Amino acid sequence: MISHLRTMWLVFIHLFRKKATIEYPEEKVELHPRYRGRIVLTKDPDGGERCVGCYLCAVACPVDCIALQATEDENGRRYPDFFRINFSRCIFCGYCEEACPTYAIQLIPDFEMAEYNRQNLVFEKEDLLIDSQGKYPGYNFYRVAGLEAGVKKKGEGEHEEKPVDVHSLLP
Amino acid sequence: MSTIFIDNKQYEVKAGKNLLEACLGVGIDLPYFCWHPALGSVGACRQCAVKVFRDENDTQGRLVMSCMEGIRDGLHLSVNDKTAKAFRSQVIEWLMTNHPHDCPVCDEGGSCHLQDMTVMTGHDYRRYHFKKRTYTNQYLGPFIHHEMNRCIQCYRCVRYYHEYAGGKDLNVFAAHNHVYFGRERDGVLESPFSGNLVEVCPTGVFTDKTLREHYTRKWDLTTAPSVCHHCAVGCNTIAGERYGQLRCITNRYNSQVNGYFLCDRGRFGYEFVNSENRITQPIIRNQAVEAVDETSLLEHLRTLLTNHTVIGIGSPRASMESNIALMQLVGRENFYQGISDNEVFVERRIEEVMQSGVIKAASLQDIQHSDAIVILGEDIWNTAPVMALAVRQGVMKTAAQHALENRAIAEWHDAAVKEIVQQEKGFLANCTIGASPLDEISSSIIHKAPEDLARLGFAIAQRLNTVLPAVQLNDEMSTQAAIIAAALQKAKRPVIISGAGLYNEALIRAAFDIAAACKATATEVHLAYVMPECNSMGLAMMQASGFENAVLRASRAKNVAAIVLENDLYRNMPAQITDVFFNNCQHCIVLDSLNNATTQHADVLIPAASFAEGDGTLVNYEGRAQRFYQVFVPANKNMQESWKWLMKMRLIQSGAAIDKPCHPEEVLMMGEQLLPQLKGISTAAPRRDFRVNGQALPREPHRYSGRTAMLANLAVSEPKPKQDGDSPFTFTMEGYSGMPPSPLIPFFWSPGWNSIQAVNKYQEEPGGSLKNEHAGKLLFEYKRDATPVYFKDIPEAFVVRTDKWLLLPQYEIFGSEELSVYSKGISERSPAAYIAMSALDADQMSLVNGSLITVKIFEQLYELPVRIHANIPKGVVLMPSGLPGVPAMAWNSWVQIISIKL
């Protein structure tokens, strides 16, 4: 009996608590910046595509929903020729973001992706690429990589010495 | 066998090996860089350190490089010792101080030995905060991409390129921590074996430039064991596909055939599969709508095949299955080889000699282990490149063995062995028409006309076995014959190599006579005849007559419908003859994968699958039947193996319904019944229902990515995986994940070993045969007690004619083979047409290099630039064979020089 009354009392006082639910969709939910939602491809500070087509996101994906093809521009800079994510398979685990060595692929706080037609959940590069650096500003992979891809010359990157003069015997 | 103790555990290992080989052989993971089973040890990288103890009571021990320490009975060593482990991880850390942050954009990533070894030693975080050394790169030609920053100075590239393959234009430059591996200046790597640098280099300094065009990581490739289609050696390869395109060819180790290395034609000649010139649609010509579907094609063929006399033209580049299916369809008497009578005659002789079983066929392994080699008339550098590489190893190894006699130095001690050997060479006699890169390692170099070479061969045989008829030679040749005969007499494992390249049958007989005469003194004699194309030997074994007979047949009989199987007849025969054939045939049904001059004449054109899209069996030069497996199912359903089309045609011809699919082994069994000499060919590979623990074998590694997205642009629901009823493989990553049996290895991978170095795990011992190796099926049976029947018919000596020259083919490694030329890089390396002649002849006509001359060959005029070679015999001219756009010549005919433009 006492237990019943206690329960009713508890329910009653909850009427005056702050609401945990919101009036979605009129009211938008507030998400944390690291919320794992929709996947995007970001750009580096110089406006170039960050993705270098290394296939690490694809191989890390437990549901194999990422497919891409790497290609190269005239400077030898790698970028994806196509980049496809099948969101109808994606489980938003964020492994792709974790695997990405260039901060290109990022999960953003947006989950509003419902579609009536499943085919519309197949996102191509045009749908994924955003004109922003996303969560990790300032990083440009080609400035720290060894190879020359039109971003910097050999030996002009961060932590790089001038190219070796093969004809010199000096230490 | 010796007993050693590794970390206090007892192992039985083979004596004479080094500790690294012993550890890897018993399955212990020990990191290494500079050691390679084919190259030996030099102890340069300091990566394979282990601790060796004086005896079981010693606890102190000392660090040694395991690759430099031989096995001693009762030796105690420790791989897991704390100091040894720390040493190894520090070495990696030092190497990584300068290694660039490139893995995401490096083509080696995912199949990188450096990555594997770094993970194996446990180095994971860069503590070094100073700057990284950088280098500028070089342009190294169409096959190899250079990224020198990634180098870890293991010296493997130079040791392979220079010492193993005999290349001259790659070297190490500069000094101390600035050493640079490359060419003296930018330029194409000249060696035709440069592609192996991709696999030899443990990091990404040298990578495959053709793969770069459509880059795919190793884990994303659908792969299947394949056999190279670009010459008669039949090297084992792994072909990889992604998104419906063939992406790359890598080496598939096999101790009997190609070992660790391929030639550039085999490695980079795959692009024809992706060519825009592919035939994609069945076509019936001369009707309103020419493109038809399978049903109406077969309906049309039904009337064609039942109302005509059907003859079949086989092909030396089509699989055994396809040739057998064609023979079965048209009947044995209506089947012709699609090559000239001359060639049929020479190849028939080769087949007869091999069939007699008197002499064993020489595998590449036999050639590598021989102690005297005679090459008689075949330019193997260009016709069978990997055989030339094996010959080089034979010569080098013999010299090393001589040097090591009575010396306590192990064979694997590469630098020490090289130091003792210096310039010494084993015996090699290179008797060909023109100069070859093999000349520099030859003890006897003879460049003469084919008849003279054959006479030299008979003279050598006569010196070995004096019962044979004597040959009159001039003094110079006589001395050479004596030198070669003396060397052969001393040899225990001689190999004689000849071939069909010069269309000269006397050479075949002479080579046999030498080999047979060697039997008296040697313990093991081997004989190799190089054949022109990948399945020439298989076709020759079918013992059909040549193309000229088919032409006669077509012109005599009315109502002939010819089926031409994967054969561009205009490449094999002069155009006049082929034209006569097509004019006389009422109907011509052509099956091929690429459009060419012959397919232009087809009334019915049927698209055939290439080697990557179909299954089949090839018989290589030694009569070894080897199976190649389908890599992927082409999106275009019309591309089917020729033998599938032909079996369907057989069914509709007999009025039966096409109800159940036909499989390769059934076709091969049919072949065995039809031709008893093919006995055993159906056992060349495991049957299609072969399973391991009830599981099929996956073509894709377990990390294959993109399964649910790669086709999602077409339809979001994934299609049912493709089924393969013809082989024990699946087209997915599902199936048995352990180590497959040796002929069914689709890729080399082992936990922790992602690079091609994983092959260690598949071998009985490092550099040895694969576990349970089954390297195809040898169709020629060796009969130990067979008495040789010598050939005594010696050709007349070559006589120089005035104003006439004997026309002979010069083969080009890049250019002479039909399919590989579709690769951009190979066609870039292929020369323009030329005519080569002796310096003596050129002097007489005051020609210089590059002078244009017009030659008349069978009423046809050709204007070509001259190349002058000091080594070509007088009275002979050479023209490149099989270059694209250059028509087939009447080889061994006499040509006239009409005019000269200096």
Domain coordinates in residue numbering, chain B: 2-96, 214-275+688-774, 277-339+545-674, 370-531, 805-901
Angstrom distance (rounded) from CA B24 to CA B753: 12
The DSSP code for B739 is P
Domain ranges across chain A: 31-144
**pLDDT given for residue B693 in this prediction:** 92
| DSSP code string of chain A | -HHHHHHHHHHHHHTTSPPSS--TTTSPPP--TT---SEEE-B-TTS-B------HHHHH-TT--EEEEEEE-TT--EEEEEEEEETTT-----HHHHH-TTS-EEE-S------SSGGGGEE-HHHHB-SS-TTSTT--HHHHSSS-SSSS-TT-STTEEEEP-TT----
Mean pLDDT of chain B: 92
CA distance A5 to chain B (A): 55
Angstrom distance (rounded) from CA B767 to CA B40: 10
Per the DSSP assignment, residues forming a β-bridge with A105 are: A41
For the CA atoms of B790, B794, B795, B800, the dihedral, rounded to the nearest 10 degrees, stands at 130
- Two structure tokens written together for B383: 């016709």
Q: What letter represents residue B162's amino acid? A: H
Closest C-alpha to B505, from B457, B576, B448, B553: B457
- The answer to whether the CB atoms of A146 and B710 lie below 8 A apart is no
Angle between helices B547-556 and B575-584 (to 10 degrees): 40
CA distance B214 to chain A (A): 7
Q: β-pairing, B144-146 with B206-208?
A: antiparallel
- ipTM of the predicted structure? 0.90
Q: Length of chain A in residues, anyone?
A: 171
Q: Which member of A53, A154, A168 has the closest CB to residue B134?
A: A154
- The answer to whether the CB atoms of A68 and B703 lie below 8 A apart is no
Mutate to test the interface with B, among A39, A51, A56, A64 (most CBs of B within 10 A): A64
Q: Which numeric CATH code is attached to A31-144?
A: 3.30.70.3270
- Two structure tokens written together for B147: 């990224």
Percent of chain A at pLDDT > 70 equals 100
3-class DSSP state for residue B691? coil
CA distance A26 to chain B (A): 31
Closest C-alpha to B773, from B58, B226, B254: B254
CATH architecture of the domain covering B370-531: 3-Layer(aba) Sandwich (3.40)
Give just the sign of the alpha carbon dihedral A110, A116, A120, A121: positive
CATH of B2-96, picked from 1.10.510.10, 3.10.20.740, 3.30.1330.20, 3.40.50.1100, is 3.10.20.740
- Two structure tokens written together for A82: 């196509």
CA distance A94 to chain B (A): 16
- Two structure tokens written together for B735: 């199936």
Which parts of chain B sit beneath pLDDT 70? none
| DSSP code string of B747-815 | S--BTTB-SGGGHHHHBSSTTSPBTT----EE-SPP-TTPPP-----PPPPP-PBTTBEEEEEE--TTT
Instruction: Find where tokens 């996303």 sit.
Output: A134
3-class DSSP state for residue B884? coil
**pLDDT given for residue A4 in this prediction:** 95
Closest C-alpha to B794, from B501, B481, B491, B436: B481
Angle between helices B450-464 and B505-518 (to 10 degrees): 20
- The answer to whether the CB atoms of A160 and B132 lie below 8 A apart is yes
- The answer to whether the CB atoms of B132 and A164 lie below 8 A apart is no
Angle between helices B505-518 and B341-356 (to 10 degrees): 10
Using the Cβ of B714 and the Cβ atoms of chain A, whether some distance falls under 8 Å is answered with: no
Q: Which numeric CATH code is attached to B277-339+545-674?
A: 3.40.50.740
Query: At a CB cut-off of 8 Å and minimum separation 6, what does B530 contact?
Result: B232, B378, B380, B383, B384, B387, B497, B498, B499, B500, B501, B621
**pLDDT given for residue B901 in this prediction:** 78
> Which chain A residue lies closest to B108 (C-alpha atoms)?
A54
**pLDDT given for residue A21 in this prediction:** 87
Using the Cβ of B131 and the Cβ atoms of chain A, whether some distance falls under 8 Å is answered with: yes
pLDDT, tens digit (0-9, with 9 covering 90-100), for B684-738: 999 999 999 999 999 999 999 999 999 999 999 999 999 888 999 999 999 998 8
Q: Which member of A122, A144, A168 has the closest CB to residue B101?
A: A144
Contacts of B174 in chain A (CB under 8 A): 164, 166-169
Distances in whole angstroms, Cα of residue A29 to Cα of each of A32, A109, B209: 10, 10, 50
Angstrom distance (rounded) from CA B656 to CA B662: 14
Mean pLDDT of chain A: 92
**Residue B339 in contact with residue B537, Cβ under 8 Å?**
no
Using the Cβ of B168 and the Cβ atoms of chain A, whether some distance falls under 8 Å is answered with: no
Percent of chain B at pLDDT > 70 equals 100
**Residue B61 in contact with residue B7, Cβ under 8 Å?**
no
**pLDDT given for residue B307 in this prediction:** 86
Using the Cβ of B289 and the Cβ atoms of chain A, whether some distance falls under 8 Å is answered with: no
Closest C-alpha to B539, from B675, B357, B363: B675
**pLDDT given for residue B55 in this prediction:** 86
Q: Which member of A52, A154, A160 has the closest CB to residue B105?
A: A52
pLDDT, tens digit (0-9, with 9 covering 90-100), for A90-145: 999 999 999 999 999 999 999 999 999 999 999 999 999 999 999 999 999 999 89
pLDDT, tens digit (0-9, with 9 covering 90-100), for B69-113: 999 999 999 999 999 999 999 999 999 999 999 999 999 999 999
**Residue B614 in contact with residue B645, Cβ under 8 Å?**
no
Query: At a CB cut-off of 8 Å and minimum separation 6, what does B126 contact?
Result: B96, B97
Using the Cβ of B240 and the Cβ atoms of chain A, whether some distance falls under 8 Å is answered with: no
CA distance B238 to chain A (A): 21
Q: Which member of B174, B178, B712 has the closest CB to residue A84?
A: B712
Q: Which numeric CATH code is attached to B805-901?
A: 2.40.40.20
**Residue B684 in contact with residue B625, Cβ under 8 Å?**
yes
A 125-144 near B (Cβ less than 8 A): 141, 144
Inter-chain Cβ pairs, chain A and chain B, closer than 8 A: 136
Using the Cβ of A65 and the Cβ atoms of chain B, whether some distance falls under 8 Å is answered with: yes
CA distance A64 to chain B (A): 5
Query: At a CB cut-off of 8 Å and minimum separation 6, what does B186 contact?
Result: B138, B139, B140
- Two structure tokens written together for B206: 């040298």
Q: What letter represents residue B191's amino acid? A: S
Instruction: Find where tokens 């495959």 sit.
Output: B208
Provide the H-helix boundaries in B213-293.
264-268
- Two structure tokens written together for B585: 């045939």
Using the Cβ of A81 and the Cβ atoms of chain B, whether some distance falls under 8 Å is answered with: no
Using the Cβ of B709 and the Cβ atoms of chain A, whether some distance falls under 8 Å is answered with: yes
**pLDDT given for residue B463 in this prediction:** 92
- The answer to whether the CB atoms of B703 and A59 lie below 8 A apart is yes
Angstrom distance (rounded) from CA B825 to CA B388: 22
Average of per-residue pLDDT across A33-39? 93
Cis peptide before A25 (omega within 30 of 0): yes
- The answer to whether the CB atoms of B176 and A149 lie below 8 A apart is no
Distances in whole angstroms, Cα of residue B263 to Cα of each of B235, B419, B429, B727: 9, 28, 23, 28
